[in-house]
């Protein structure tokens, strides 16, 4: 864990976990990392004044006016009769709080919605409204409202991380499938790869592409590992450590295939 790891974790614990990006960063954790590196603490509208004061206590930065007005808790609502099932809102949701399938009606899981608004802009038929979150409206005391915000933050953090793991897994599976197809193409009857002969220009190009993809996969996995270690995120670190050997194995395989195909 880096020297800033505990501070990043503490800052992230204060942020509302809406993952809205209104701070200018791709989620609450990246903003926490930026704050630890000196970024201003006044860029979180969903957190409001309360979060601003907590961030000031943690970082020693002075309390300053919020860059944007405080935003009360919201929830997205899809006017289902107008939904065309394009799935663009599903792809945009950072916490997987929208259910639906292509050409089928979509709906928002209200209890899991953080009100980030990221689903609104991609909707091609403008059928998504933002309303005050029912759980927030139902709270009748400051304690009840604080309890709701704590639940939303914990759920938002957990679901966002789960989504990142899912997307990383799907991206890896897609890369592996692409590399597998390239290998199968090189093994087709008539291919010169298996005979030890040099490959033609098209095959050389395919192997260079496979090598580049493998190099990028290793680089990306190492970056994920370093980021997890810097944040002190043991779950993300464990995932990256599992993925790295496989990525390195595929890289070695791609290099070997390219070297064997070089003219002698």
Phi/psi at 128 (5° precision): -115, 125
For 151-165, how does the pLDDT look when each residue is reduced to its tens digit (9 = 90+)?
Answer: 999 999 999 999 999
Beta bridge mates, 77 = 129
142-186 and 234-260 helices, crossing angle to 10°: 10
Asked whether residue 251 carries a pLDDT value surpassing 90, the answer given is no
How large is the average pLDDT for residues 53-71? 95
At residue 223, the pLDDT reads 83
Alpha carbon of 126 to those of 88, 102, 122: distances in Å?
A: 12, 17, 8
Distance of alpha carbon 211 from alpha carbon 186, whole angstroms: 14
For 158-206, how does the pLDDT look when each residue is reduced to its tens digit (9 = 90+)?
Answer: 999 999 999 999 988 888 888 888 777 766 665 544 444 455 666 777 7
Asked which of 11-15, 52-56, 126-130, 237-241 is least confident by mean pLDDT, the reply is 237-241
Half-sphere exposure (CA, 13 Å, Cβ side) for 82? Answer: 10
Asked which of 12-16, 44-48, 90-94, 212-216 is least confident by mean pLDDT, the reply is 212-216
Contact 4, 230 (CB under 8 A): yes
This prediction has a pTM of 0.69
Rounded to the nearest integer, the mean pLDDT of the chain is: 88
Residues near 16 by beta carbon (within 8 Å), at least 6 away in sequence: 28, 44, 46, 47, 51, 114, 149, 152, 153, 156
Asked whether residue 92 carries a pLDDT value surpassing 90, the answer given is yes
């Amino acid at each position: 864990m880096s020297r800033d790891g505990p501070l990043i974790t503490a800052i992230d614990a204060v942020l509302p976990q809406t993952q809205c990006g209104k701070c200018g960063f791709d989620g609450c954790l990246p903003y926490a990392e930026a704050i630890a590196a000196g970024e201003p603490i006044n860029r979180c509208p969903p957190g409001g004044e309360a979060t601003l004061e907590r961030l000031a206590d943690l970082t020693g930065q002075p309390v300053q006016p919020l860059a944007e007005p405080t935003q009360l808790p919201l929830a997205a609502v899809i006017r289902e009769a107008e939904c065309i099932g394009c799935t663009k809102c599903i792809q945009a949701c950072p916490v997987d709080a929208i259910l639906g399938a292509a050409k089928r009606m979509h709906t928002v899981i209200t209890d899991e919605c953080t009100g980030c608004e990221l689903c609104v802009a991609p909707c091609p038929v403008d059928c998504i409204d933002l309303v005050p979150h029912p759980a927030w409206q139902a709270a009748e005391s400051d304690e009840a409202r604080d309890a709701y915000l704590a639940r939303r933050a914990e759920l938002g953090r957990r679901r966002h991380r789960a989504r990142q793991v899912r997307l990383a897994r799907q991206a890896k599976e897609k890369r592996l499938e692409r590399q597998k197809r390239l290998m199968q193409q090189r093994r087709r009857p008539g291919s010169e790869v298996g005979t030890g002969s040099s490959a033609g220009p098209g095959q050389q190009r395919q192997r260079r592409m496979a090598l580049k993809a493998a190099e990028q996969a290793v680089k990306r996995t190492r970056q994920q590992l370093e980021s997890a270690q810097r944040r002190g995120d043991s779950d993300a670190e464990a995932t990256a450590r599992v993925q790295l050997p496989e990525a390195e194995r595929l890289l070695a395989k791609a290099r070997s295939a390219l070297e064997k195909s070089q003219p002698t």
